[in-house]
Structure 1
């Protein structure tokens, strides 16, 4: 089903608030256990603001008390709203750790001087491209932008090297996009950062001229798999989730990783964590980060989310390109917080 783009009310509210520069973020398995004993904590709880969906991470966060040695209190919400709340609360916040759905929100908090560096002995475990250069945040998982395509309809997509190739007139009406989706907005932000404002607008105008607009990535994938469109711009994990739900025999669609650092279509975004500056539970927060990066935790998140691990020697989703083989878009992930011009541009082009 197609849909007319409407920007979320939450996002509009955030953009009207001073100091808010955050990125919009619109199954159960046995949880891993803590892999090492930890010292007893204080009576005060470790307070986590989690922008990650409770259904995805409640199992693993439920194991944190054993890992950090103190009581853990998790407050779930939308990543953008929680980041805005942290910006408003400033040093008065009760939060000790922020678990973000995206790098942009972490970048906004770092820019506002609200995060403390994570111990380097912890961040050294993470692939370097998924750690803030000042150690203010570390990824817990990664997700890649891809062109999902139907090989029975457009087999040539397998040889694509640039998102510009989807603008070929022969694909008019055959490219699925979801402009109101946070992952598309991150892509457009990366496009702006790489190409500049005018070139990014030119790309979107051409894209809109022959794109088919959907509510989200799952709808794009379903349309691609059914041959309603030839291809679409999505995150990689939607295909793996569909295969888990329906079985590989029923899924025709494939992912195409562009592996082109000069193309925003190669963007690799992250979910990650940051320790709140001056937190009285900084030690426990760092132990929590250690727990989230240990192999069993990484394996759990791969199974739950179909996202990529960010530490070595942990396998990614079955059949997926290894994260170590990625050549992600050459963009500072912190700069994905520059969302307001992106939303204005998308609104101008698609409405």
Structure 2
């Protein structure tokens, strides 16, 4: 344990050195004027994001200095850095991960008219700690030769005996699955959500392995008939540059189950201003930029996600998969039930 603590201390120290010169004494330029610095801690790892950073720097003169890592690694790092953290903005995928950062006290509230008007209330924290800037639906890829659309039009049906041994899904500790189960707890209550988790576990065609694209490939290979996946993974395979992935997706369909007839479960990627941001004005400026039409178009075009801004149109490649009803539940509710969701998943044996 002492060795781990020492290692974390070294990592934090090295990070502080790497961001030297980006601290609280940046001057007026870094705190609202043109130019300056933005220290970004990000758990997103998509090529589209570099286009966002480049455009933001071009438009504002603000240099984006980023530290990348997994969500929990970055959360642990910011907690260890405390008030001396150089982080200005924390960005990550999934509202459940954002909730963990909020629960750790790593965000400060942002009261921005631009953000409040652009980002729907159900896609942001009620107190303004974080905002969703892109959406993804957690839906299903299925083999149309074996599954009828009406058999997967409701999440409840995935846990029925119809799909015994025919379902593929990634690990239960994936935050994507934790957030989905959290949404079911919010909608159904713990007892029914537990039954669903047990049904899904019983229906697995194999023990969970790999990510969402691996589940999609397993459906195409005949290992299973249906798989839970985030929408953008399927769309990327269907519209991306990899001919093999396009062939696989071409054999399958993307289905959008509904939760209690109110629409499909939707999650976000998003972020907020760090609690001790040394360049707060640039941090707010960056978040407002992410809600701009230009940024929304980049995220949709290059990462195959749905825009978060209500009146922003999806990219041409995404549009064929965008005509679905999204459940209006606040994404902030997923994290509230995260611990209970993890307990249910563990108890059911969903590894």
TM-score w.r.t. length of structure 1 = 0.78
Alpha-carbon shift at residue 313 of structure 1 (Å): 3.0
1:104–1:338 contact (8 Å) kept in structure 2: no
Question: How far, CA to CA, are the matches of 1:207 and 1:50 in structure 2?
Answer: 32
Aligned-pair RMSD on alpha carbons?
2.6
Distance, in Å, in 1 between the alignment partners of 2:283 and 2:143 is 44
The offset of 1:207, in angstroms, is 2.0
Aligned counterpart for 1:219 among listed residues 204, 214, 220: 214
Tell me the distance in 2 between the aligned counterparts of 1:171 and 1:334: 29
> How far 1:337 moved relative to its partner?
5.5
Q: Structure 1 residues 189, 250: CA separation in 2 closer, same or farther (over 3 Å shift)?
A: closer
SS at match of 1:185: helix
- Partners of 1:277 and 1:249 lie apart in 2 by 44
Match of 1:63 in 2: 55
Offset at 1:285?
Answer: 1.0
Deviation string 1:82-103 (CA, Å, 9 cap, x unpaired) is 1232234333211111111121
Distance apart, 1:329 and its partner CA: 6.0
Other structure's SS at 2:306 match = coil
Q: Distance in 2 between matches of 1:209 and 1:290?
A: 45
Contact 1:79–1:105 (8 Å) recurs in 2: yes
- In structure 2, what is the equivalent of residue 167 of structure 1? 159
For the Cα contact (< 8 Å) 1:99–1:273, is it kept in 2? yes
Q: Which runs of 5+ in 1 are unaligned?
A: 1-37
Equivalent of 1:205, from 193, 198, 205?
A: 198
CA distance in 1, matches of 2:176, 2:130: 20
Q: Who is 1:280 aligned against?
A: 278
The offset of 1:271, in angstroms, is 0.3
Tell me the secondary structure at the aligned position of residue 97 of structure 2: helix
Q: What is the CA distance between 1:64 and its match in structure 2? A: 2.7
Distance 1:102 1:67, change over 3 A: farther
Aligned equivalent of 1:339: 338
Equivalent residue for 1:326? 325
How has the CA–CA distance of structure 1 residues 191 and 334 changed in structure 2, closer, same or farther, with 3 Å as cutoff?
closer
Aligned partners of 1:131 and 1:138 also within 8 Å: yes
- 1:80 aligns to 2:72 (yes or no): yes
TM-score, normalized by length of structure 2? 0.78
Distance 1:91 1:118 in 2: 21
Distance 1:278 1:81, change over 3 A: closer
Distance 2:231 2:99 in 1: 23
Q: Which residues of 2 match residues 122-161 of structure 1 at below 5 A?
A: 122-155=115-148, 157-158=149-150, 160-161=152-153
Show CA shifts across 1:256-294 (max 9, x none). 11243578x932110001012352311111111122222
